[in-house]
Amino acid sequence: MRGFVLPGGCVNLLLSISAASADPSKLVLSFGGASFPSEPYLAATQGFNQYFKAAATYYTSNSGTGQNGVFLGRFEVGASDVPINTGLYGTNGTIVAIPAIAGGLVVSYNVPGRNKTKLKFSRKVGLGIHLD
């Protein structure tokens, strides 16, 4: 079985997995990983379980747990909001990355004397704030 890591479509993936099974009510699926996408994933697994009478569970932790959990066979689906460690891909294509959730970043500031003047960042400065 292939493992999927969803960087930071869970519902579509759950439905695809269930379609592969003759009786979705007998499915026991484990998902886990990043906390950023946990709310939509928890809602998706709850809806999936109610609709199919299945047993899917999402374990909120961190990106490393999501990636390693898939690689080690603990999870069918892992969530990660960081790029997948290339050492986990292996040579047999066992891990497939599927972008599933996007989020925005907001920079807030409090600079005395700048309350009526716009503060503009260049792309380089904006990236530097988040990458340093």
| 10-residue mean pLDDT series, the chain (132 residues) | 48 50 74 88 88 89 88 85 73 68 74 72 81 68
| Contact residues for 36 (Cβ-Cβ < 8 A; gap 6+) | 8, 81, 101, 103
Q: What is the DSSP letter of 85?
A: P
Per-residue pLDDT at 37 = 84
Q: What's this model's pTM, rounded to 2 decimal places?
A: 0.62
Per-residue pLDDT at 60 = 95
| Tokens representing residue 67 in the block | 């990636």
Rounded to whole angstroms, how far apart are CA atoms 81 and 63? 6
Q: What is the DSSP letter of 83?
A: P
Per-residue pLDDT at 8 = 42
Residues paired with residue 96 on neighbouring β-strands, in sequence order = 4
Residues paired with residue 78 on neighbouring β-strands, in sequence order = 5, 32
